[in-house]
Structure 1
Amino acid sequence: MKPQTEAVLRVCSLDKAFAGKRVLNNIDLSLTAGEVLCILGPNGAGKTTLISAILGLIAADAGEIHLLGQLQQGAERSVALRQQLGVMLQIGSLPATLTVAEQCDLFASYYPAGYRAPELVALAGLEDHAKQRFGRLSGGQKQRLLFALALAGKPRLLFLDEPTLGMDVEARRNLWQQIHQLQQQGVSIVLTTHYLEEAEQLADRIMVLHQGKFIADGSPGELKALTRYKLVQCCSALSDAALLALPGVLQLNRQQDGVTMHSSHAEQTVRALLSQDPGVSQLEVRQVALEQAFLQLTGDAAAAQAGADNQEQVA
């Protein structure tokens, strides 16, 4: 996590409800210069509502939003402020009949101090498709163009909602490299994604949103450390039954080249394993992947909420 500096984005006690249903519940977050914050959450968690409220696309019911040091009133955003923001929404589109070059020329005209049209075409990596109409681009090419157009004004604060959707592996990794370069230039980035590998590769900090509330906040490593188990991999002469009987082992998966055990007390598991099988080889202990950590966090939160609802019904 980066040293504490003045926040370029600060949200305090934000609430939003639709038709009496609370979608955002007392939300707080902050973002510093050059930090990449990833907001994770299952579908319906409130991610889109939160980003829309920050950008002024919808009005919040309560709370404060500070953008680049300015307190925002209602859903209006000044022209001067909008010139410093870059936005790539998940459901983004452009006039289908305009070419790539024409789209870039149009967006460049909005930002006197931003990128020129040829630079935007190059940022999108679409020099060979500059005369192609937007409607005839592939899904990945459209995403690359939308990403480049979000950078048109050389923003200080960038919002990326599912930026690599529809991209192939090479294009996705190229965009990751561009995001790293933006961060090195001091650009602050708010990212939402369903690719947990993407969050792990890009984010300085991850906040997990579930049912309108943040339930976790930390680096990818810190979130993975919150899980109740670690993975113990090895090649062992012990039977599956003997391995499952080791202290702390919750689950066992046998592969062709060894076994993987989920252990709630990895150190105890390893000590007992070495005691019972001194010839064990290829022993490795590691944290779970971010995906398992995310599923556990949201699963625990859902179970806790279900318990609270049951207690209210009993009362």
Structure 2
Amino acid sequence: MFALDVKRLTKAYDATTVLAGVDIQLAAGEVLCILGPNGAGKTTFISAILGLIKADSGEINLFGELQQGSTRSRALRQQLGVMMQIGNLSANLTVFEQCDLFSSYYVHGYSATELVALAGLEAHSQQRFGRLSGGQKQRLLFALALAAKPNLVFLDEPTLGMDVEARRALWQQVQQLKQQGVAVVLTTHYLEEAEQLADRITVLNQGVVVASGSPAELKALTHYKVIQCESTLTDQALLTLPGVQHLQREHSLCILHSSHAECTVKALLLADDSVRQLEIRSVGLEQAFLQLTQNDTTHKEHAA
């Protein structure tokens, strides 16, 4: 049984289709990252799963239970944790008071003291929410999303506003959730975060799933490799090498995108025997994401 099983989910606002037949499955102890440009349908997708909006058609199964409309049972809500991108709390309640309030909502959840510790805000437990920094607010919202000791957690841009140290600490907490068998749905604009945390990445673009797989599988979908070197060849000569799709220069370095890296390198070495600092590497997740989400016109302009 999947923690989450979504089939053919659709949602439109007036004449604008936001979700167009989305299928997603998520098992216990798995981290699924949903990537997509702004307006791709990520927040609408999560809102439909949580019952915040009603989908037009399709099926949403949570822990094997088919959801009807936008209602969710109390028993089911006790199994869910949610941290939405735009989250806010009463500015006048202290950190401890917020945690005490959320702890009271759940029968078998964390105590207020445990939630303060999860947020790493013991030294700020008597500080009012409105006086916390942006990163501290995110840490508290993350802890409150875990108040129920949930089996399925939705994290929408959880590390927004955090410094590097706090972000990596939260990554460790997500890894711990996974080890405990908790299923996690994550959205983020930090592609390094997706690569570090996700077992699978689903890419949404204009309401459609355009790719799904592990970070390594998504990077393998790109049609080029990156060749970096120092060369005496002119830009025109470099662009005429077999397989070269794109050229850029960074100081003394030439950076080539090639669809046939081996052929490019052989021709490069024949044309310039003084090549230095030669390096060939696969593309990163950022390049893969851009290639998957840009339209055909953009791709042709980029390739040209």
TM-score, length basis structure 2: 0.93
Contact (CA 8 Å) 1:210, 1:301: kept in 2 or not? no
User: Equivalent residue for 1:248?
Assistant: 243
Offset at residue 275 of structure 1 (A): 2.8
Offset at residue 252 of structure 1 (A): 2.2
Which of 73, 77, 91 in structure 1 is aligned with 2:72? 77
Deviation larger for 251-260 or 151-160: 251-260
Distance 1:172 1:66 in 2: 31
User: Equivalent residue for 2:4?
Assistant: 9
Matches within 5 A, 1:84-233: 84-233=79-228
Q: Which runs of 5+ in 2 are unaligned?
A: 300-304
Deviation larger for 43-52 or 16-25: 16-25
Deviations 1:152-211 (A, max 9, x none): 111111000010111111111111111111112111111111112211221111111111
Q: Does 1:38 align with 2:65?
A: no
How many residue pairs get matched?
299
Offset at residue 244 of structure 1 (A): 2.5
User: Equivalent residue for 1:308?
Assistant: none
RMSD: 1.7
Deviation larger for 245-254 or 152-161: 245-254
Residue 59 of structure 2 aligns to a residue in which SS? strand
Distance 2:110 2:191 in 1: 31
Q: Which runs of 5+ in 1 are unaligned?
A: 1-5, 305-315
User: Equivalent residue for 2:45?
Assistant: 50
Residue 259 of structure 1 aligns to a residue in which SS? strand
Distance 2:212 2:86 in 1: 26
Distance 2:276 2:297 in 1: 39
Which amino acid in structure 1 is aligned with residue 147 of structure 2?
A: A
Residue 292 of structure 2 aligns to a residue in which SS? helix
User: Equivalent residue for 2:267?
Assistant: 272
TM-score, length basis structure 1: 0.90
Residue 294 of structure 2 aligns to a residue in which SS? helix
Identity %: 70
Label 1:123 to 1:33 Cα distance change in 2 as closer, same or farther (>3 A): same
Contact (CA 8 Å) 1:232, 1:286: kept in 2 or not? yes
Deviation larger for 294-303 or 211-220: 294-303
Residue 137 of structure 2 aligns to a residue in which SS? helix
Distance 2:126 2:95 in 1: 6
Contact (CA 8 Å) 1:230, 1:263: kept in 2 or not? yes
